[in-house]
Amino acid sequence: MGKPKILVTRRWPKKVEIKLSETYDVTFNDTDTALNINDFCEALKKYDAILPTVTDIMPKKIFETTDIRTRILGNYGVGYAHIDISAAQSLGITVTNTPDVLSDCTADITLTLMLMAARRAGEGEREVRANKWEGWRPTHLVGTKLTGKTLGIIGFGRIGQEVAKRAHHGFGMKILVQNRSSIDPRILSHTNAVQIDKINDLLPNIDFLSLHCPGGEENRDLIGSEELKLMKKESILINTARGEVVNDNALIYALKNKIINAAGLDVYNGEPNLNKDYLDCNNAILLPHLGSATNETREAMGFRVIKNLNEFFSGKVPVDKVS
């Protein structure tokens, strides 16, 4: 038998592409632009495996294609809400992801956003670049500190726990968490964290809110107008989870009307076509989905996909199988 035919939907780190090509018959998307529905319908007929990313929307419609050849979707990333898992599963298509390897870097970018939003770093950087800085003065761009403040975390998986470690041990922050399932007290004890059952009981008691829950329809608009109104006016929201977790219009209104102090965002609804009204919010830090963007992590993600492929094509159940 020949090598399995593989489609890589976006360009990957060179080391990973070379490694993948050693074992498989690989086609790379040289344009490095997101594929559309028609592209995926054709790809499902031609390739044994497709390796998508978060930018590749794979709805139910594409799985209605006839004569599907694809047997595994090796997702390059942790989140897989962009794939209709039920539709894939109904056709016997295995879906894998890449957990663990990007927890550190996503936690790092979360703290980056917290610091930037709290210390108004985005405003300051724009001011300097625009040659509008008039020098030091006591009331200029006064922000707030992280040290000793209370951080609320929604979703206390691997990334949420890494954020808690950095915040608690690095900045002496008090940690309150809300999670859909009960958390082992031993895990909570690592950061003296306290689990709160309901989001609405968490929100009034925190200075920072960091989102690390899954995306998808289950958590769409988890944070909307009513939730934002429960937060302190001095509080700051950070989202490195998925864009749909936050209602855009509600957050933009809250930022413009000082319902909350600021926000730091690395993910958006409909990426890269974010709601343009965010651009008018000086108190919003806006990053272009950089959570895993380090050489070490992006390579580790690719090698994790290869590991899953190797296991699948050798007849084993991939370690990161999600369906």
Which residue reads 């090796």 in tokens?
74
Domain of 15?
Answer: 5-101+295-313
Residue 323 included in any domain: no
Q: What is the CATH number of the domain that holds 256?
A: 3.40.50.720
Residue 119 annotated in active site: no
How many domains are there within the chain? 2
Q: What is the pLDDT of residues 245-291, one digit of tens each?
A: 999 999 999 999 999 999 999 999 999 999 999 999 999 999 999 99
Which pLDDT belongs to residue 58?
96
Residue 75 included in any domain: yes
Q: Catalytic one among 17, 123, 127, 271?
A: 271
The rounded mean pLDDT for the chain is 97
- Across 45-58, average pLDDT: 96
Q: What is the pLDDT of residues 8-35, one digit of tens each?
A: 999 999 999 999 999 999 999 999 999 9
Residue 190 annotated in active site: no
Q: What is the pLDDT of residues 79-109, one digit of tens each?
A: 899 999 999 999 999 999 999 999 999 999 9
Which pLDDT belongs to residue 132?
98
- Across 144-157, average pLDDT: 98
CA distances from 229 to 103, 204, 245 (A): 30, 9, 16
Q: Catalytic one among 242, 244, 298, 304?
A: 242
pTM: 0.94
Residue 322 included in any domain: no
Q: What is the pLDDT of residues 151-178, one digit of tens each?
A: 999 999 999 999 999 999 999 999 999 9
Q: Catalytic one among 69, 119, 168, 289?
A: 289
Q: Does the pLDDT of residue 197 top 70, yes or no?
A: yes
Residue 242 annotated in active site: yes
Which pLDDT belongs to residue 323?
85
Do 37 and 85 lie in a common domain? yes
Strands 49-51, 150-154: pairing kind? unpaired
What's the rounded Cα separation, in Å, for the pair 27 and 35?
13
Which residue reads 């890589």 in tokens?
8
Half-sphere exposure of residue 29: CA atoms within 13 angstroms, side-chain side = 20
Kindly indicate the confidence band of residue 1, based on its pLDDT and cuts at 50, 70 and 90. low
- Is the Cα torsion angle 56, 211, 301, 112 positive or negative in sign? positive
Adjacency order of strands within the sheet including 236-239: 194-195, 174-178, 150-154, 208-211, 236-239, 262-265, 284-286
- Across 135-152, average pLDDT: 98
Do 93 and 108 lie in a common domain? no
Do 96 and 155 lie in a common domain? no
